[in-house]
């Protein structure tokens, strides 16, 4: 499955997901894709494809401290999909 994403970190437009990851994205609203360093950063962060519950857009983001929330770059809605909720 090819997913078009909004990405403010790496300039990625599309990501290819396996069938298993596509199902996880559909069920949980997010799926882990890779670890990477942000520009100027010195530690690798986990990045996820997340579906915004407000505007239905897919975006690439990492969990933000202190609660592990994700932030939609289009509507700037703070998502409540903490990383602990994924099965």
**Each residue of 13-40: pLDDT tens digit?**
999 999 999 999 999 999 999 999 988 8
Return the pLDDT at 67: 82
- Full-prediction pTM beyond 0.75? yes
**Which residues, in sequence order, are CB contacts of 31 under 8 Å at separation 6+?**
17, 21, 22, 24, 25, 48, 49
Averaged pLDDT, 69-81:
78
46-68 pLDDT, tens digit each: 999 999 988 999 999 999 888 88
Return the pLDDT at 87: 39
């Amino acid at each position: 499955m090819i997913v078009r994403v909004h990405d403010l970190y790496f300039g990625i437009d599309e990501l290819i997901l396996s069938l298993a990851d596509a199902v996880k994205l559909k069920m949980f609203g997010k799926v882990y894709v890779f670890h990477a360093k942000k520009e100027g950063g010195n530690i690798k962060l986990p990045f996820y494809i997340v579906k915004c519950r407000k505007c239905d857009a897919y975006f690439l983001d990492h969990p933000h401290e202190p609660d592990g929330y994700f932030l939609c770059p289009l509507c700037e809605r703070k998502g409540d999909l903490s990383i602990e909720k994924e099965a």
